[in-house]
């Protein structure tokens, strides 16, 4: 395999250096946005968001749910001044990007991290965010957009020279809290070289270009693989074999718990203490004005195969209320009793995981089973 580093740091914006710590821990808020990903990472001195997806149909407004959650969060942390130190987008599919325009308008976004792509079902939103960051370099455009400061922006691509330790710099990791300095790294990005070991259809699959993010907070750590699929995950595992870069405490389950979003090799490399799946509830019909029903049940998320891998590889056991619906296919679910700490936004609502600097992790809050107004 050969990888090229085509990462261009256009600007750098440091955030959080002077803020007083409000809590000593990192908290991962896996926000219930229906079928989609949006994870708020809360630090003592700053906050960042990984993806801004939102399910949108006649039953549910995931954008409103995300904005309400972020508003309440910033109301509780006024010293953060409604600022996201980093807005990272794993890939341009709408279940990861739908609410980007609203988030960018409503809050101060200091840095933007994407894989640089413009196509895909969320290409418009991702491209718009990238354009906004680029425009912010001009004082005149900043003024027109109502931006107080330049937005740092970086698009990450994989290729020759991509560091074996992963990529980190002041745009990818703009956060430096006084007591514990979190470390944010990108381990995967847009594939550009032809010699990457993937076939044509695998390269055309935008999921395989997802940013993979690792966040370390003292001895605690978390991994986000976006919607990376099996073939790319195998290359990811091969690439970081022997480095411990994939060895983490918290795993945001890849591709919403699809059967192709987690592999035995990845589970072995991570040995996570707990795992959280971002997916919509299985009971929501989700009919929209086009007749579409792209919700958790139509995708069959999470799939039995992924749960088997999580049950085998997650190390902590003993979650409360452990019987949950697991998909045996699209639209078909069966109850499953979990022995390990595996949570899902479609089962539990928003899931908040506390990560202490000494490596202790656990779920500290769930908002409860999401509402399903058109349950079958």
Window of 12-20, 64-72, 184-192, 223-231 that interacts with Zn ion by CB under 5 A:
223-231
- Under rule CB under 5 A, residue 229 binds Zn ion: no
Closest CA to 208 of 228, 223, 237: 228
CB 260 within 8 A of CB 246: no
- H helical segments located in the chain: 62-76, 94-97, 100-106, 123-135, 139-145, 200-204, 230-239, 264-270, 296-299, 304-313, 345-348
Nearer to Zn ion, 151 or 236 (CB): 236
**Judged by CB under 5 A, how many residues of this single chain contact Zn ion?**
2
Phi, psi of 52 (to 5 degrees): -140, 60
Least gap, CB of 298 to Zn ion (angstroms): 13
Task: Identify which range of 95-103, 143-151, 197-205, 277-285 contacts Zn ion by CB under 5 A.
Answer: 95-103
Nearer to Zn ion, 150 or 227 (CB): 227
The smaller minimum CB distance to Zn ion, of residues 36 and 220, is found at 36
Stretch that binds Zn ion, among 94-102, 180-188, 192-200, 290-298 (CB under 5 A): 94-102
Which residues face 39 on adjacent strands?
Answer: 30, 50
Contact set for Zn ion, span 126-165 (CB under 5 A): none
> Closest separation between CB of residue 210 and Zn ion, Å?
9
DSSP 111-166: EEEE-----STTHHHHHHHHHHHHHTTSHHHHHHHT-SSPPEEEE-EE-BB--TT-
Mask: binding to Zn ion, 54-93, rule CB under 5 A, as x and -?
Answer: ----------------------------------------
**Beta carbon nearer to Zn ion, 28 or 206:** 206
Alpha-carbon dihedral 162, 166, 171, 173, rounded to 10 degrees: -170
Please name which of 236, 88, 239, 51 lies closest in space to residue 173, comparing C-alpha atoms.
88
CB of 53 to Zn ion, least distance (A): 7
- Is 95 near Zn ion (CB under 5 A)? yes
Q: List, as own/partner pairs, every contact residues 232-236 make where C-beta atoms lie below 8 angstroms and the sequence separation is at least 24, other chains included.
A: 232/188, 232/191, 232/198, 232/202, 232/207, 232/208, 233/261, 233/262, 233/263, 233/265, 233/266, 234/263, 234/265, 235/1, 235/196, 235/197, 235/198, 236/187, 236/188, 236/212, 236/266
Among residues 32, 55, 190, 227, the one that binds Zn ion under rule CB under 5 A: 227
Point out which span in 118-126, 128-136, 176-184, 221-229 binds Zn ion (CB under 5 A).
221-229
Using CB under 5 A as the binding rule, whether residue 173 contacts Zn ion is answered as no
- Using the minimum distance from each CB to Zn ion, give the nearer residue, 136 or 225: 225
Nearer residue to Zn ion within complex by CB, 55 or 227? 227
Q: How far is the CB of 70 from Zn ion (least distance, A)?
A: 20
Site for Zn ion, rule CB under 5 A: 95, 227
């Amino acid at each position: 395999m050969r990888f090229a580093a085509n990462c261009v740091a256009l600007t750098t914006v440091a955030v959080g250096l002077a803020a007083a710590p409000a809590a000593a821990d990192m908290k991962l808020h896996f926000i219930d946005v229906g079928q989609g990903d949006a994870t708020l990472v809360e630090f003592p001195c700053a906050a960042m968001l990984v993806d801004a997806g939102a399910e949108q149909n006649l039953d549910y407004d995931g954008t409103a749910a995300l904005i309400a959650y972020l508003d309440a969060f910033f109301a509780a942390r006024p010293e953060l001044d409604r600022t996201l130190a980093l807005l990272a987008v794993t890939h341009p599919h709408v279940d990861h990007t739908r609410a980007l325009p609203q988030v960018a308008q409503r809050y101060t976004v200091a840095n933007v991290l994407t894989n640089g792509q413009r196509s895909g079902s969320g290409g418009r939103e991702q491209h718009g965010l990238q354009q906004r960051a680029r425009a912010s370099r001009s004082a005149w455009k900043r003024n027109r957009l109502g931006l107080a400061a330049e937005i740092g922006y970086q698009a990450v691509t994989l290729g020759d020279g991509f560091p074996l330790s992963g990529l980190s710099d002041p745009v990818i990791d703009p956060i430096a809290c006084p007591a514990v300095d979190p470390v944010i790294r990108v381990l995967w990005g847009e594939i550009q070289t032809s010699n990457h070991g993937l076939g044509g259809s695998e390269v055309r699959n935008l999921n395989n270009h997802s940013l993979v993010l690792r966040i370390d907070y003292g001895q605690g750590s978390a991994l986000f693989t976006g919607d990376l699929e099996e073939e790319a995950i195998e290359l990811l595992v091969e690439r970081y074999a022997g480095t411990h870069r994939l060895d983490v405490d918290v795993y945001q389950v890849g591709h919403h718990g699809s059967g192709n979003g987690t592999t035995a090799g990845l589970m072995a490399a991570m040995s996570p203490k707990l795992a959280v799946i971002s997916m919509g509830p299985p009971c929501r019909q989700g009919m929209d004005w086009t007749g579409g029903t792209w919700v958790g049940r139509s995708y069959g998320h999470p799939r039995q195969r992924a749960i088997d891998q999580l049950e085998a590889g997650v190390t902590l056991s003993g979650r409360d209320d452990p019987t949950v619906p697991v998909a045996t296919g699209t639209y078909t679910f069966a109850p499953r009793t979990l022995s390990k700490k595996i949570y899902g936004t479609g089962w539990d609502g928003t899931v908040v995981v506390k990560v202490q600097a000494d490596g202790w992790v656990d779920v500290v809050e769930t908002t409860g089973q999401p509402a399903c107004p058109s349950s079958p």
